[in-house]
Amino acid sequence: MNPTNQSAEKLQTIRHSTAHIMAEAVTNLFPGTKFAIGPSIDNGFYYDFQLPRPITGEDLPAIEKEMRKLISMNKKFTRKVVSKAEALEFFKDQPFKKELIEDLPEGEEISLYDQDGFVDLCRGPHVESTKELNAQAFKLMKTAGAYWRGDENRPMLTRIYGTAWEKPAELKEYLDMLQEAERRDHRKIGKEMDLFHIDDENPGQVFWHANGWSMYRILEDYVRAKIKEDGYIEVKTPFVMPRSLWERSGHWAKYQENMFITESEKRTFALKPMNCPGHIEIFKQGLKSYRDLPLRMAEFGSCTRNEPSGTLHGIMRVRGFVQDDAHIFCTEEQIPSEVAKFCHLLKDMYKDFGFTEDKILVKFSTRPEKRVGTDETWDRAEGALADACKKAGLSYEIAPGEGAFYGPKLEFTLVDALGRQWQCGTIQVDYQLPSAERLNAEYTGEDNNKHHPVMLHRAVLGSLERFIGILIENFAGAFPAWLHFNQMEIIPVAPAFNEYAEKILKELKERGFRVTANLGTDRMNAKIRKAQGLRIPYMLILGQKEMEENKVSVRYRDGRQETKDLQDFINYLETKVTTRSVEI
């Protein structure tokens, strides 16, 4: 559900207006309510309240009913500009509104919106009247706690979330998508397939079970083979590094609150939140010449970040993770060709996971207002990135001012099976970290003088943990055979055929396949149900006929079933695996 800019603006206005209607409904139903803020957000809106009594999801139908009544009254939204003194007087009994007004600079325009009796402090815009709101195209979703202004030392308010659309059919489509997203939730599937768990006492840290770790290693080995073929060297940097290094790199000032800190022998150290400084320290060992460039240095870098517990989400947002991280040290002239080379690698890798070019969105983020470096340097860097995009055949959307403080960047977003967007890959141009002012990386140029390389920060998958979570939800756990931790399960219909099953198991393992045999005493249907729960791509059902003819009855994950000669099936599976087909 990706609306155009025009329809997106209209939806935002509808949602913002619906939030105001909800505020009026809540104050009608719960006299004495103090209301705070109520913006539109992606796919909906929310409003924060201080209520005279706690409310739960059971109260939402009554609020919806009151909102529909208000919408049916064709209330008009009327904008009025007032002075700061007038606004303070009007909201004298609403402490949160009063605080917002007091914080406004003197002389700033203050606007109120009156919806036929209910008045709110708001910049707008709003619909002209509730006639433009469809009473059957909104739904209140949930309640949650939220600190006033996000400060844990301020009052805890009740936040009510809702969604609103132009038409009831769009609401239904969205709710259906949410239902499907719940079915695909990686935390639920991870438990069903015995992939991982996260302990409540150790938030944000993943415990990988055998099935999940097998797939993790398959993914890691896949990336390792691809980057080796593309000319990268692989390194490993320390997990703990001294404060002095982080200060020189600039990360201490910017990321200290997200670092895990430790001390030893009266010195302060940090568990690394990123790998960049360590790679520069390796680059600096030994003399480097322009002939050594570009130098592509990769690491499966274990990092930790002290993310707030409220932001953690399964394996999608964690405190401990591994990046398929790499840094390319190059000359300024090599930027276009290196970025283009990376883009080709990225598209090739994404294709193996089923993300074809039409499912990849590219954002070109340009210089932010607060940045380091000269305008001339930024002009060169942005020009080199644009040239690289042309060489790589990339179309992109400009994101003005969203670049890193040290340079412009490309961000690659994947569109999954539900149309949701996940930002994964990135490449960033950095003139600053290798500079004399920071970590002072140098090489000898053709002119025999010392120069600082340009550093390209890049990742394809990003965090391996998060990428696996994306794959779980994209495939609903039904992974391609090349990626699945168990490509097939052998199921004899009775113990009399266990010997034949063991013979086939041995042969398939010798051919390098990941295969298991269920030789237990459960009935065949129970074994099939268990394999289906693990989303195993192929089940080989073995009985009398299969044993006599040296064949296998192949039950595909999608329900198809056919009998094949064993060698024909092996050839078929080898093709699926070697081509990394996403179809079984």
Binding site feature residues for Zn(2+)? 276, 327, 457
Is 325 labeled as catalytic in the residue annotation?
A: yes
Which candidate in 115, 323, 334, 432 is catalytic?
323
Write the DSSP symbol of residue 105.
P
Task: Say how far apart CA 516 and CA 539 lie, in whole Å.
Answer: 10
Which candidate in 184, 327, 452, 466 is catalytic?
327
Which candidate in 186, 272, 305, 514 is catalytic?
305
Mark the binding-site residues, compressed into ranges: 276, 327, 457
Residues in the chain: 584
Task: Say how far apart CA 405 and CA 419 lie, in whole Å.
Answer: 31
Number of Cβ atoms within 10 Å of the Cβ of 4: 8
Tokens of 429: 């141009």
Which candidate in 409, 452, 466, 576 is catalytic?
409
Which candidate in 12, 75, 159, 276 is catalytic?
276
State whether residue 30 is helix, strand or coil. coil
- Starting at the edge strand found earlier in the chain, the sheet holding 320-330 runs 233-234, 295-304, 320-330, 454-463, 421-430, 409-415, 360-365, 397-399
Is 305 labeled as catalytic in the residue annotation?
A: yes
Whether the CA torsion 452, 457, 458, 461 is positive or negative: it is positive
Which candidate in 48, 59, 325, 430 is catalytic?
325
Is 53 labeled as catalytic in the residue annotation?
A: no
The amino acid sitting at 30 is F
Task: Say how far apart CA 541 and CA 484 lie, in whole Å.
Answer: 19
For 494-519, b/e burial (b = at least 16 CB within 10 A) is: eeebbebbeebbeebeeeebbbbbbb
Task: Say how far apart CA 376 and CA 244 lie, in whole Å.
Answer: 31
Q: Whose structure tokens read 């004495």?
A: 32
Which candidate in 15, 16, 347, 457 is catalytic?
457
- Strand partners for 208: 196
What lies within 8 Å, CB to CB, of 532 at 6+ separation is 557
**Active site positions, annotated:** 276, 305, 323, 325, 327, 409, 457
